[in-house]
Amino acid sequence: MSSLPIIEIKSLVKVFGAFKAVDNLSFTVFKGDVFGFLGPNGAGKSSTIRMMLSLINPTAGEISIFGKSLLNHRKSILEKIGSIVEKPDFYPHLSAERNLLIFATMSGVSVTRKKVHEVLELVGLKGRERDKIKNYSHGMKQRLGIAQTLIHDPELIILDEPTTGLDPQGIIDIRNLILYLKNEKGKTIVLSSHILSEVELIATRMVIINKGKSMAEGSVKELLNSEDLVISINVDNPLKAMNLLEASPWSKSAKIETSSIVLHAAHEDIPEINRILMQGSLKVYGIESRRKLEDYFLKLLQEAV
Amino acid sequence: MIRVIGLEVMKIATKPRSYIGFLAIAIIISIIEFALYVDGKAYLEFITQSIEQTFYFEGNILNGYLVALIILSTLIIQIPLLIALVTGDLVSGEAASGTIRILLTKPISRMKILWAKFAAGGIYTGLILIWLGSLALGVGVILFGTGDLVALRSDGLVVLPADDVLWRFGAALSISYVSLMVVTSLSLMLSCFSDNSIGPIITTMAIIILFTIIGTMDVPVLDRIKPFLFTTHMIIWKNMFDNPLSVEVIRSSAIILLAHIGIFMGIATYRFTTKDILS
């Protein structure tokens, strides 16, 4: 991963009537990033992505992609971007092959049928090239959406909810495809998704937005390590465990979940917690620590509330 | 640009609704020609009864040229609906289906996309008109033969020699093309304001009906706006069967029709190039 900025968003604002969808948002995506773009529904993710693709006009702020202003260099920038915005839609009365040929032509490149077939094979649609889109399932359309982003071999790929509606195998396939595009093809990928575990698995950097504002931005690893672990302790008497930990610094975050207590603590605190419980004659069946994006995400949102 | 126009034409050609117009025209013309073939003399007596005492007709009056003229007079009013059915869907159909999101993220200017759609709509309009003209005239001549054309006008009767007729049909279809392109540009403009296919089609027809009603109302206050309504000039094609031709009238009508196309496409261009794509 380099430190060459591919996307620079500065003080971006979008207002719809009286509603501020994006509020002074700034972030940077670097070359080679798989950049997670996260936020709850209505956070302003889609509006931001649409502005990055010139589908909607910003009210204020700057968008620079590949070092150029999107406002002044729309064509040359879009030539190097492949994107899915929300659900991918195609011409239903045309075949997958024909749809891809249309969008490749609109992208200013001339592609052969062989290239179209290669891309369709890459997304797992081999053998369905000539089928009309109206006969495609939602999952197949999602895969075709990815194929559409790749057909003109772009440098930057923007994927808005690419795994929506996919079965578990489909989600794994798309995850592997994103990693392949990053590692083997050197693509920069912006990934907006509700499936936080997916983002956690593949994103290198991320921004979390809420109500149009940036709440956290940085390396996924660093952001998650900046927080305490979520520790789940399976004991024979969770109520007694809560009482024992009442005077400890971890009591504030402790809560009972079925037969376990869950609390936030640092990795080095685990032996001390275990000692307190053992001294209280509790049977500790297991201690599991995790540091999940989902926890971090929810914690940020709760803090915002 | 040529490739983009080609793609837009291909999109129109692969939509089943694009063939409704061709099918409807073929069915209507078949019915009219069959009816005139069976009962044409009675029909002719009916329409010439007011002038029978003044004129004596000799020869094949009910020929292919007259049949074609009757068909054009009957159908030219319905053609805008058939055209709007396709052209009103050119932008809004993409918004409704969601393909506009992909289309407008491609490195091609919105203006190019819109004007390619206009050009494709123009090609479709031309094909519909050619289909109408060739069926009306071709089948008419095959079934009824040729002869001098007796063109009935509201203010009299024009008799045109057989060898002076074909170019007039060509000219009539050409000026009709300009007037139908007003419908194409109107429906395309409305299509830029809508995210569903039906709205622009219905609105186009509503505007044509409203303007036509205003055009037929004999109210002095409306007389001032009538010359500026495109519907007033959509029947200018009939003037091509005048003898001598009223060139000035045809020219001023053509200018007003072209001005409408310019205004509608100007608004469409502004709207399409500045609109936020939220669908």
Whether the predicted model's global pTM rises above the 0.95 cut: no
Q: Which of A51, A93, A106, A151 is best to mutate for the B interface (most B CBs within 10 A)?
A: A106
Sort out which chain B residues have CB atoms less than 8 A from A105's CB and list them: 3-4, 7
Distance CA A90, CA A144 (A): 9
**Chain A, nearest residue to B107 by Cα:** A75
Reading the block at residue B109, the tokens are 């200017």
**Chain A, nearest residue to B1 by Cα:** A106
CB A147 within 8 A of CB A120: yes
Give residue B224's pLDDT: 83
| Reported ipTM | 0.73
CB B149 within 8 A of CB B241: yes
Q: Which range among A126-130, A152-156, B235-239 has the greatest average pLDDT? A: A152-156
- Mean residue pLDDT of chain A comes to 85
Distance CA B47, CA B44 (A): 5
CB contact under 8 A, A91 and B99: yes
CB contact under 8 A, B4 and A106: yes
Sort out which chain B residues have CB atoms less than 8 A from A53's CB and list them: 104-105
* pLDDT, average across residues A85-105: 87
Tens digits of residue pLDDT in A226-279: 667 778 888 888 888 888 888 888 888 888 887 788 888 877 888 888 888 888
Distance CA A204, CA A187 (A): 13
Q: Which residue carries 């307190």 as its tokens?
A: A276
CB contact under 8 A, B7 and A105: yes
Tens digits of residue pLDDT in A201-211: 888 888 888 88
CB contact under 8 A, A85 and B105: yes
CB A276 within 8 A of CB A250: no
With an 8 Å Cβ cutoff, is B98 touching chain A? Answer: yes
Q: Is the pLDDT of residue A189 over 90?
A: yes
Give residue B87's pLDDT: 92
The distance of A270 to chain B (nearest Cα, Å) reads 50
Phi, psi of B177 (to 5 degrees): -60, -45
Distance CA B8, CA A181 (A): 32
Q: Is the pLDDT of residue A224 over 80?
A: no
Q: Is the pLDDT of residue A180 over 90?
A: no
The distance of B179 to chain A (nearest Cα, Å) reads 31
User: In angstroms, what CA-CA distances link A129 with A101, A283, B5, B137?
Assistant: 11, 60, 24, 44
Residue among B7, B104, B274 minimizing CB distance to A102: B7
**Chain B, nearest residue to A78 by Cα:** B107
Of residues A95, A85, A88, A103, the one with CA closest to residue A165: A88
Q: Which of A102, A138, A142, A151 is best to mutate for the B interface (most B CBs within 10 A)?
A: A102
DSSP state of A55: S
CB A148 within 8 A of CB A109: no
Distance CA B250, CA B236 (A): 6
Give residue A287's pLDDT: 87
Residues in chain A: 305
Distance CA A35, CA A219 (A): 9
Sort out which chain B residues have CB atoms less than 8 A from A107's CB and list them: 106-107
With an 8 Å Cβ cutoff, is B106 touching chain A? Answer: yes
Sort out which chain B residues have CB atoms less than 8 A from A106's CB and list them: 4, 7, 103, 106, 108
Sort out which chain A residues have CB atoms less than 8 A from B17's CB and list them: none
Amino acid occupying residue A151? I
CB A85 within 8 A of CB A149: no
Give residue B257's pLDDT: 94
CB contact under 8 A, A105 and B3: yes
The distance of B217 to chain A (nearest Cα, Å) reads 42
**Chain B, nearest residue to A146 by Cα:** B102
Size of interface A-B (CB pairs under 8 A): 74
Strand ranges inside chain A, DSSP E: 5-16, 19-30, 34-38, 60-65, 68-69, 81-84, 156-160, 188-192, 205-210, 213-219, 229-235, 255-257, 260-265, 284-290
CB A162 within 8 A of CB A146: yes
Geometric angle at alpha carbon A291, from A290 and A294, rounded to 5°: 110
Strands A34-38 and A188-192 come out as: parallel
Torsion sign (Cα): B241, B245, B251, B252: negative
Distance CA B243, CA B264 (A): 33
The parts of chain B modelled with pLDDT lower than 70 are 47-60, 154-156
Give residue A296's pLDDT: 73
With an 8 Å Cβ cutoff, is B251 touching chain A? Answer: no
CB contact under 8 A, B7 and A103: no
